[in-house]
A and B are shown apart, each in its own frame.
Chain A
Amino acid sequence: MKHIKTLCGATLKNSAAKGGCGECQTSCQSACKTSCTVANQKCENNK
């Protein structure tokens, strides 16, 4: 494409199928303790 550069595709939509295992880190435990950000966390579902 000439006018649009895609940084990432439909990752969220694709994640709905296999998601929800719950093994990932609890958002608050990493460093913030007050302000939630989840997008910086890793998925732990290796299946």
Chain B
Amino acid sequence: MIHKFKMHGTNIVTDINSGAVHVVCDIVYDILDLIDAVPQSLHGECPAEIIDSLGSKYSKEDIIESYNEIIELCKVDMLYTDDKYGEIAEKINRKPQIKALCLHVSHDCNLRCKYCFAGTGNFSGERCIMSEETGKSAIDFVIANSGSRKNIEVDFFGGEPLMNFEVVKAVADYAIEQGQRYNKIFRLTLTTNGVLLDDEKLDYINKNMSNLVLSIDGRKMVNDDMRKTVSGGGSYDVIMPKLKRAADSRSQDNYYVRGTFTRFNLDFANDVLHLADEGFKQISIEPVVGGKEQDYSIKEEDLPIIFDQYEILATEYVNRRKNGNWFNFFHFMIDLNQGPCVIKRMSGCGAGCEYIAVTPDGDIYPCHQFVGNNEYLLGNVLNNNYNTTITQDFADSNVYTKPKCKECWAKFYCSGGCHANAYQFSGTIDEPYQIGCEMERKRVECALYIQAQLVE
């Protein structure tokens, strides 16, 4: 399987099964269109049909020369490489070893964001916060179920975790201490809206947490339309100075400003660039995930506009990189040479088998997005009850068990998408959320385009 596309005059060809990426001339690009249609192609000399078909556009010599280069790449398994990973996928023995925990230390929030998947922080339940005991039990549970995994991630999440910061500190200290005892490396993250972020908290976070996710949507008007205070005002002016201070205090590294775009700001490239203009270097802006009934949800007809925005962003991304005024955009960061192995790339996000969410009551769910869905309640950390029957479904899921993923050229870049999105839109984790897939494919194309521009 190959995938090819043109973007702003650059022709890119990816060989899906080898991972090779090529920039090609127009002649090669056009020949590749004909390869499938000409039965004897990819064997021996350039077929006459190909020469005849393209003879009016290119010289015979150039066509033959280009064809021969294609054949050379085929011989070294960098074009039209066979897919042999299906066999590997069947043999993946993904024991439910937990290595990542989304710890819901607060099911309460001091903002009332309109699009909040957590029902403005309480996940459709009582507003409550986690006790220190429950937090520590979650750490014990993860260590006990982590098997041979050495690296363990914990994201202090909410609601708003800074509303329960004393417990965050106690549990973080405990995780680090227990990690040393059991030879585990705990990597801690905190995801916050920034409202309660002050120097004292920041000092603790910077000393103990390897990542910090700061929520903001971009331009003031856009942010304030969605991210409201409890009294209904905008949050931008409250959080922006704090987020800037936080980013600078971490030397503009090991953090993300993370926002959401909706169909109310389909020109979201301006929001990414606004955050870059405000000095943030690590930026992630994600499409909202909401039900069809929500007026802010992305609709299929919005996709052409969204694709244009990703291209605009990619072009500006390259310009700024070349001018030394760089920033990172999470979905454009593709490591072509040192990225994860193919086994990671086929086996997905890990929710439900490697990754769990734990609520303030200690309840365990496959991930933060499943919290509150009784069908996916896996157990509770306080009594060590853990239903591995459900987790096996997640462990068994990979890009080869999902028919649409199996046929998709982007499967090794996205690993099969978000299980929770799939479940929300298809009722099963095995059928991905199609609008999300379309956007992901476009982001990957943009990321590859950027790589092509930056090596020139």
Contact = CB atoms under 8 A, between A and B. Distances in A.
Interface of A: 1-13, 15-16, 18-20, 22-45
Interface string B36-72: 0000000000000000000000000010011001101
A39 B78 contact: no
B203 interface: no
Given A10-B77, A12-B18, A39 B334 contact: yes
B421 interface: yes
Given A3-B65, A8-B337, A11-B337, A26 B343 contact: no
Contact of A26 (B62, B153, B414): B153
Contacts of A23: 99, 149-151
Interface of B: 15, 17-25, 27-28, 62, 65-66, 69-70, 72-73, 76-78, 81, 85, 88, 92, 97, 99-100, 102, 149-151, 153, 155, 187, 189, 191, 211, 213, 256, 258, 284, 286-287, 289, 330-331, 333-345, 348-351, 354-355, 367-369, 412-418, 420-421, 436, 439-440, 443-444, 447-448, 451-452, 455
Contact of B28 (A4, A15, A25): A4
A31 B256 contact: yes
B332 to A, nearest CB: 8
Contacts of A36: 348-349, 414-418, 440
Contacts of A29: 100, 102, 153, 155, 189, 211, 355
Contacts of A2: 65, 69
B336 A7 contact: yes
A7 B11 CA distance: 12
A38 B405 CA distance: 14
Contacts of A42: 335, 338-340
Contacts of A37: 330-331, 413-414, 440, 443-444
A10 B19 contact: yes
A39 to B, nearest CB: 4
Nearest to B415: A38
Contact of B413 (A6, A22, A38): A38
Contacts of A6: 20-22, 73, 78
Nearest to A8: B336
- What secondary structure prevails in chain B residues at the interface with A? mixed
A33 B368 contact: yes
A19 B256 contact: no
Contacts, number: 222
A-B pairs with the 5 shortest C-beta distances? A19-B341, A12-B19, A26-B100, A15-B341, A10-B18
A22 B97 contact: yes
Nearest to B214: A31
Contact of A18 (B70, B99, B341): B341
A-side interface mostly: loop
B155 A39 contact: no
Contacts of A22: 97, 99, 149, 344, 354
A29 B189 CA distance: 8
B256 A43 contact: no
A38 B436 CA distance: 15
Contacts of B81: 10, 13
Best-buried of B24, B62, B92 by chain A (most CB within 10 Å): B24
Contacts of A27: 348-350, 415
Given A24-B151, A39-B340, A40-B339, 18 more contacts: A2-B65, A7-B21, A15-B19, A16-B341, A19-B340, A23-B150, A24-B344, A26-B99, A26-B355, A29-B102, A30-B256, A31-B256, A35-B418, A37-B444, A38-B414, A39-B444, A41-B344, A42-B338
Contacts of B289: 34
A24 B413 contact: no
B284 A31 contact: yes
Nearest to A40: B333
A31 B153 CA distance: 13
Given A22-B99, A26-B349, A37-B440, A31 B330 contact: yes
Given A10-B77, A16-B88, A22-B354, A5 B99 contact: no
A43 B340 contact: yes
